[in-house]
Structure 1
Amino acid sequence: MSVMKNNLFLKFFPDDLLLETSLVQLRILQPTDEAAFQELSKDSSIWKYFTFDCSIPGEMHRWVEEALFTRNSLIRVPFTIIRKSDGAICGSTSFGNISFFDKRIEIGWSWLGTPFMGTGINTHAKHLLLKYAFEEMHMERVEVKTDFLNERARAALLKIGMKEEGVLRSHMQMPHNRRRDSIYYSMLKEEWMKSPVQKVQ
């Protein structure tokens, strides 16, 4: 990693970074979050479209260790999603595939515990990441990929103003020997101000 990229990473993603709306807070993932994640991860339906299944004993620990490693390696920025009203840990989301030169970043590695689905928390979390990417980091493009079969995620991405781009066939290995087709979505800087999610408070 170049010195410039290293410096930019540390500038934009300090350990005390906190993003918040009226509903949620995003803070950098901490090792102590694992206990709450373990409780949330027991519902196997959460992981249907992921390349891993954290309902399997030991898998959430491995996932947290990997998230912390990629954070310390300045590769990925994992956040813990917190409901402000009661401080409940809801799940996690991340920035990754960061190119400061190309002004491009990916949002992904996102999941919520079942009780927090359909509550607006995901929309608020996406708002915070998009706002930070475009308004603080001055990115030109934010991208997201998901399983082609994940119709709920695809509909949610379109609802917040992401544009469908295309499908990468046989892109990722899934459990039970399934090969996943990944579909990409993006939002450009000039589209951000017109996005329905931009007005979230």
Structure 2
Amino acid sequence: MAFVESTTLAARGIRLVPLSLDHEEGLRAAAADGELWRIRVTSVPEPGQTRQYIADALAMREAGNRFAFAVTEEATGTVLGSTSYHDIVPPIRRVEIGWTWYAKCCQRTHVNTTCKLLMLTHAFETLQCHVVGWRTDNFNHASQRAIERLGARKDGVIRGHALRRDGSIRDTVMYSLRSGEWPEVRTQLLYLLDKPR
């Protein structure tokens, strides 16, 4: 039995469904909103690479180290982006959240906060994780701010850690949230979602 089993998560008009090849067209359209693949520090697939992006995610699911979701609008089924559990380590009940991106029209809306609330709730309350982690490019300042707004703590920087799509070597900023910190973070996320916009 897989640690992260196939599941669908939904709240506040957003639905996270297991990523499949059926999402190829929707994922390509979401990435085209803002031409997100042109951003140097993200994992968004170029239009011609969308099918391979999904196939790679499915292979990682089969291997047990990543579970990718399509982020969809519940009312219409429109694909808004993608997010994943990854670097899944069942013996220590740890997952990371990443490979996250949204169409430009969804950025700076409730979508990311809702997705994180859904994924963190599932990780801590269903999977009984001890810790949830994040990692991001040292130059992806928007991602770092978003992770810090969630209440995650910066663990440090791994220097010379990974290749970017352009072939340059990146430093990776690591964050984590422990299970004992989750109740306060959950309260804060609900507050952010409920306050008037």
- TM-score normalised by structure 2 residue count: 0.88
Residue 44 of structure 1: how far off its partner (Å):
3.4
Task: Supply the distance in 2 between the matched residues of 1:114 and 1:82 (Cα, whole angstroms).
Answer: 14
Matched to 1:35, the amino acid is E
CA contact (8 A) 1:53 1:59 kept: no
Flag as ranges the 4+ runs of structure 1 deviating above 3 A: 43-47, 198-201
Gaps of 5+ in 1: 1-6
Aligned twin of 1:54: 45
- TM-score normalised by structure 1 residue count: 0.86
1:44 aligns with 2:61: no
Q: CA RMSD in A?
A: 1.8
One of 142, 145, 151 as aligned partner of 1:152:
142
1:13 aligns with 2:21: no
Residue 59 of structure 1: how far off its partner (Å):
1.7
3-state SS of paired residue (1:156): helix
3-state SS of paired residue (1:143): strand
Matched to 2:35, the amino acid is S
Task: Supply the distance in 1 between the matched residues of 2:133 and 2:2 (Cα, whole angstroms).
Answer: 20
Aligned twin of 2:151: 161
CA contact (8 A) 2:40 2:164 kept: no
Q: What are the superposed Cα offsets for residues 121-148 of structure 1, whole Å, 9 maximum, x if unpaired? A: 0111111111111001111000000011
Task: Supply the distance in 2 between the matched residues of 1:184 and 1:198 (Cα, whole angstroms).
Answer: 24
Q: Per the alignment, do residues 179 and 161 of structure 1 end up closer, same or farther by CA in structure 2, a change over 3 Å counting? A: same
3-state SS of paired residue (1:128): helix
3-state SS of paired residue (1:35): helix
One of 137, 142, 157 as aligned partner of 2:127:
137
Matched to 1:123, the amino acid is T
Q: What are the superposed Cα offsets for residues 54-98 of structure 1, whole Å, 9 maximum, x if unpaired? A: 23x422221111012112333211111112243221011111111
One of 189, 195, 201 as aligned partner of 2:179:
189
Task: Supply the distance in 2 between the matched residues of 1:75 and 1:83 (Cα, whole angstroms).
Answer: 26
Matched to 2:40, the amino acid is K
Identity in percent:
26
Task: Supply the distance in 2 between the matched residues of 1:139 and 1:32 (Cα, whole angstroms).
Answer: 30
Matched to 1:65, the amino acid is A
Residue 119 of structure 1: how far off its partner (Å):
1.3
Matched to 1:109, the amino acid is W
Residue 8 of structure 1: how far off its partner (Å):
4.0
Matched to 1:177, the amino acid is G
Task: Supply the distance in 1 between the matched residues of 2:70 and 2:36 (Cα, whole angstroms).
Answer: 20
